[in-house]
Amino acid sequence: MATRNYAQEYANYDGTPAVKKKRAERNKARRMLEREGVVHKGDGKDVDHKTPLSKGGTTTRSNLRAAPASKNRSYPRKADGSMK
């Protein structure tokens, strides 16, 4: 069994500017709802964008909601990870 090369994964994907920007938007959304007390670390909830970022949504309070992780991660996705 081959071992996973995390440094190479970061260099080829996770460290690219586009992926860093997406991650920063997700982290910003989580921090916004944590400050309001809607979500907490380890509570099993995800911060859901009502209009997904991949469909032109923004990280504004009016576009965010807390959803159970099982619900938020169950949407059908395209090969690139964006929502269908």
pLDDT digit string, tens, across residues 33-77: 999 999 999 999 999 999 988 889 999 999 999 999 988 888 787
Predicted pLDDT of residue 51: 93
pLDDT of residue 48: 93
Give mean pLDDT, residues 21-34.
95
pLDDT at 61: 95
Instruction: Note every long-range contact of 18-23, with CB atoms under 8 Å and residues 24 or more positions apart, other chains counting.
Output: 22/53
pTM, rounded to two decimals: 0.77
Angle at 33 between CA 32 and CA 34, to 5 degrees: 95
Residue 83 binned pLDDT confidence (cut-offs 50, 70, 90): confident
